[in-house]
A and B are shown apart, each in its own frame.
Chain A
Amino acid sequence: MNRATITYNDKCVRYFLWASIIWALVAMLAGVLAALQMNISMEVIRESTVLRPIVEFLSGGTLETEGIPYITFGRLRPVHTNAAIFAFVGNMMFAGIYYSTQRLCRCRVASDKLTWTHFWLWQLIIVAAAVTLPLGLTQGKEYAELIWPIDLLVAITWLIFGYNFFWTLIKRNEKSLYVSLWFYIATIITITMLYVVNNLQIPTSLTHSYPIFGGVQDALVQWWYGHNAVAFFLTTPILGIMYYFLPKAANRPVYSYRLSIIHFWALVFIYIWAGPHHLLNTALPEWLQILGMLFSVILWAPSWGGMLNGLLTLRGAWNKLQTDPVIKFFAAALTFYGMATFEGPLLSIKAVNALSHYTDWTVGHVHSATLGWNGFMAAGMFYWLAPRLWKTELYSKTLANAHFWIGFVGILLYISALWIAGIGQSLALNETANGYVVKQFVETLDNIQSMLFMRSIGGALYLVGFLLLAYNIFMTCRKGTAVDATVEVTVRERDEIDRVTLGTIVKQDPFAAVLGLLIALVFWVTNPSNIFSLAGIIFFSVLAFVRFKKNVKKWNDWHETITANYLPFTIVTFFAAAIGGAVQIIPNALTAKAEVIDDRLQVVYTPLELEGRDIYVAEGCHNCHSQMIRMLETDYVRYGDYSRLGESIYNYPFQWGSKRTGPDLAREGGDISQGSEVMRQGLRDNFWHFRHFMNPRDIDARSNMPSYSSLASSKTNFSGLPEKIRVQSLIGVPFPVMTPHEIEGHAQGQALEISKSIVAQNPFISWVTPDMSRQKIEAELAQKEIIALIAYMQKIGVYEVPVDEDGKPKAAAPAPWENPDQDKAKH
């Protein structure tokens, strides 16, 4: 046996660590800013001569000022979420993965070149995101906002990372894979799948594209991605990190190997199915909603498996909780993980979701996970790593403890304030009497102002805690010297490693039982009235259980063989993770796009309305407004007829929204105005919208919406429309055939008509000078984005009921995702 001395590449860990800390501060600062923007309508601040100018500036002029478009809430929130997820947690994850993988493989990372390419490209992506998002360049899909050139860069960088990681696995001097590595593998392959599918898009320009999925399909794909970005970017890699750093820090063996096995496979398999719980009570087909809900409930136990395995590993090391800040952070992080993964399934229950969805409760929920679980895991890991990476003691334990308590209080303030605000506002919104709402939307804002201010304080405290961390780590670096660890390892011959073949694994007994179970499950879920598949599930479950009981050792051996070779392990993991999405998405994706759904078919946008919609997307309006009236009495009473799938089938991307900081907009659109060919008036007239965009507080002094007065100065991009319409036609929207010239002419005509209707009311517009003729003002205003946006507002949710020759509503074509037998039973 050859012994060799190797040096780990710890320099990259140091770089990733610092990148994570710096971006964490940026992300949290953006978060605090966004939170402050929510506070602007508070009486205390509005009346104060000191606070008001400060908040006014910070909040992007959401009071009666002109407004700074770059940091309006709709643009700032994606900056915050992307920075927190991909920059802060991303870099932290890479630091942890590079550090632990090298040690768990007992070899240096396969390629330093790839490692550094990975590092610098990732930072480039973040900078590109930080520049493009405030400019309003976005895809309009949550956590997938980045425009297509950056998406490509992300995909390339991720593949480099993955290649480097697997190459390191191949070169390893350790026979089998430790549980941390399982989680890293699941992360890398699943994120690749999610990111690629959700970002399938066709560019219309260098900075703009349309997703290839629209309406309900986009909704499904987006939340399959969105939910699992949480699962496989914020959860599994951090669990892997936990499995390495926690036993290291506690110096105790991991509590239970079999618990690791069960909760790993359960998480990988089940998480993927849970996406539709973001779309409960919407127009999404019932079976998908139920699947999303039920799989979310099943997720509870496997998630707690991770928490238990972590917390119980601390048995015998609890005394360190008093002295070691690292253990303090880890223990609290696991507890918050447990709390968040209990709250998650709870919020996924349809009835609870009816109360919680679209409210601040959800915001509180995700922050208990990101601040509590991700943030504290990061802090614990950094405090543990810094002394080792710089070969010295931590600069100050006292400061680290102070960080812990300040952060802890910050989180508790944050989440409890949003529990109260979310539930409180929801109850106020749900209050009805005699079939009418009791409170207008804006009236429910009064109740939550103090809680939202409390949230800002909680978030700011957390940021202060992290500043302490940055200082502490910085001083530790200054005190010590950067050292790459050197160890002596036994060099394994290549024929000792990864010898188990996929065939060996497949041929073994447990494989058949598990595979049979999965196939039966897929059949039953997609066709539940088929009793045979249910019988199959029961048969294979019993078979698996009996065989397991009969020969535990064989099952153990089987799992050992899987973890002995990285490739079959990766393949099996991929299939486990892919099944859920495939079952849920493929039937929908096969649907013809012009299908009449629920007897309704969306009316195709005019060119100007399409451009207006792109402005709506660019401004991030969906961050605060939904376009989905749920199948709930309260939604119906407040907003009108509940939304059907057919109404948004041509929306690329869908804009159902996930939070109602303002009211739903699904019924804003309306009929064509009298005497006009294209101009519409929905609930409100053009001039109302104009005034409202210029200054929402002009309409209602209590409004919390930012001013969009800048849209009255920014120019609409008419010339990009022909290409946009060409692409939309390509993906299936039945636009009438028009030449580029006709498209621009049509858009200009509609814009001028709307502009005239507004100028007729003598509005105040900043660029209008006394010598301008009325025609000139009309022509100038028609070129502005505000007009296109108004055109879109008047079109939202407009649909037709297609009729056959007898004038009866055309029967909806059977949607392929609905099982025909079941359809008969229901109707």
Chain B
Amino acid sequence: MDKDSQQADADIRRADYATEKGEVILRKHEYDGIQEYDQKLPNWWLVALWASIAAFIIYYTVYYTFDLMPSFSDEMDAKVEAVQEMRKKALAETLPKLNDNSLVNVWSTDAEIVAAGHKTYTAMCAACHGADYKANGGTTGRALDDGIWEYGGKPMDVFNVINNGSPEGSKGLNGMKMVAWGETALTPKQVAEVTAFIISINPADFADLKN
């Protein structure tokens, strides 16, 4: 036995001795003057380690080995369906209240509704149709104050264009087409509010429906 392994043996004896006596083990070997204790691991730390490993095994077993949980895509498809239902319901709630007559005589005469529509218009529509409704001289969209209603001048036509975007098959303005706001960002109620607002800034165009 060379000197070093004798030393190592003595160290371990020392370690065993220390363990028996419940003392802290200080390892004999030094690295550039750095010594090491061999303290026991804190129990709470061990619990955290084993608990997380146990969680792994349980979760993986439940999910896969026994397939007890729905898969992510099944879960997601259920959520998608729920959202679609809610949207259908929102549309079903708003649509019956909407017709050419009510939009002009009820919605567009209610100051609160028009104000809400104006707010939405400023946030979502003004970028292309302009804060002055002139659509940057007709370059970024259709002007909304020139009395021309490309896709129909009835209030419900306006609602439908906002809700569904430029009609399918239409050529758009130099090929540019509007987003279907009802499918991407606005609730049916918000679309109706914007419609009411647009009616309110073009009283002459809708005068024939006015009671």
Contacts and interface: CB of A to CB of B under 8 A. Distances in A.
A556 interface: yes
A443 B26 CA distance: 61
Nearest to B79: A633
Contact of A553 (B12, B31, B42, B90): B12
B56 A298 contact: yes
Contact of B40 (A256, A286, A304): A256
A631 B187 contact: no
B186 A436 contact: yes
B163 to A, nearest CB: 12
A255 interface: yes
A774 to B, nearest CB: 13
Interface in A154-192: 174-176, 178-179
B90 A688 contact: no
B43 interface: no
A683 B128 CA distance: 14
Contacts, number: 188
Interface string A663-699: 0000000000111000001011111100100000011
A642 B81 CA distance: 13
A287 B56 CA distance: 12
B49 A826 contact: no
Contacts of A258: 38-41
Nearest to A538: B57
A150 interface: no
Interface stretch (B58-66, B99-107, B110-118, B150-158): B58-66
Contacts of B171: 674-675
A779 interface: no
Contacts of A260: 36
A538 to B, nearest CB: 9
A259 B79 contact: no
Most buried by B among A257, A286, A640, A641: A257
Interface string B22-46: 0000110101111111111110010
Contacts of B37: 253-257
B20 interface: no
B147 interface: no
Contacts of A773: none
A469 B146 CA distance: 67
Nearest to B175: A757
B36 A257 contact: yes
Given A553-B12, A640-B184, A257 B38 contact: yes
Given A255-B37, A435-B86, A761-B139, A440 B176 contact: no
B10 interface: no
Interface residues of A, number: 85
B65 A528 contact: yes
Contact of B59 (A290, A302, A691): A290
A486 interface: no
Contacts of A553: 12, 16
Given A301-B45, A553-B12, A683-B184, A822 B34 contact: no
A622 interface: no
A537 B61 CA distance: 12
A437 B187 CA distance: 9
A262 interface: yes
A72 B16 CA distance: 63
Contacts of A763: 139
Interface string B68-91: 000111111001101111110110
Interface in A251-275: 253-260, 262, 266
A685 B48 contact: no
Given A308-B45, A687-B176, A259 B52 contact: no
A254 B34 CA distance: 8
Contacts of B87: 434-436
A531 B127 CA distance: 60
B97 interface: no
B31 A178 contact: yes
Nearest to A753: B175
A456 interface: no
Given A289-B72, A525-B60, A636-B80, 12 more contacts: A255-B37, A286-B73, A298-B56, A304-B48, A305-B45, A436-B187, A528-B61, A631-B76, A674-B169, A681-B175, A681-B176, A687-B174
13 contacts: A248-B33, A254-B34, A255-B37, A281-B72, A434-B90, A436-B187, A528-B65, A642-B80, A686-B176, A687-B176, A700-B123, A757-B174, A826-B74
Interface of B: 4, 8, 12, 16, 26-27, 29, 31-42, 45, 48-49, 52-53, 55-57, 59-61, 63-65, 67, 71-76, 79-80, 82-87, 89-90, 123-124, 127-128, 139-140, 169, 171-172, 174-177, 179, 184-187
